[in-house]
Structure 1
Amino acid sequence: MLKGFRDFVMKGNVVDLAVAVVIGAAFGAVVNSLVENVLMPLIAALFGSANFDSFALVTIDGVDIKFGVFLTALVNFVIVAAAIYFMVVVPMNHMIARRNAKLGIKEQEPAVDPQIELLTEIRDALTARPTGGLH
């Protein structure tokens, strides 16, 4: 039983996943630091506050509806998503394109489903037929 567990844990997928989780947590700390220590202070300098929690507080029948808290969460999400996009996605796409150009690898066109290709041929053949042939 222990041998089976050891074999499971030592499989490449489990080890790769564990490494990805650890790196993801470390990268999350970097992104959070960028957002909290750089971007949010810039927003605070531009708008007077980086926290919109007290914005649009509405009370209906003694219940507080906090639109500002939602707005703060939404702004934080957009900032984090933009930071990840510009710090990870754009540089990785650029590096992959440079590597592919260096290796002479061209981007492949997506494979066309044979059924779609056949239907396209049929459509083209029908539209090329002179009118008046079918009654």
Structure 2
Amino acid sequence: MKGFRKFLLRGNVVDLAVGVVIGAAFTAVVSGFVKDFLTPLIGLFGGANNDLGKKTWHSFAYGDFINVALSFLITAAVVYFFVVLPISKLTARFATKADVDAPKKDCPECLSSIPAAASRCAFCTAPVPVEFATTVPRQ
């Protein structure tokens, strides 16, 4: 179960799922805009009928577009409040917090920053002399 939780909280899975859901909802918005506004506008100026005496008015179905836009906004809000926000809080809860206030010192061999209590450098594995164990404040 821990492996599955780690897999889900890795971030890529949630981002991909949110992207697919929002992408599908946005596809409906674009399709609705084209169907309800652009197609009647193009039909008004150059429809299939070449006889200008038989031109008829094409209506803009703005109600359908408003419906699709509201569905997109509701979908985006639900995804944000029920998926993105809880996952980000859960990720923050399980994230490892580094102790940035721990005293540090520099390794005399490679000049890397290591904990003050270390007797061997983690980067170059050189032993740190006892007389060098003074704490150097890091900014």
- TM-score, normalization by structure 1: 0.33
TM-score (norm 2): 0.32
Which structure dedicates a bigger proportion of its chain to helix? 1
Bigger RCO of structures 1 and 2 (CA < 8 A, at least 6 apart) = 2
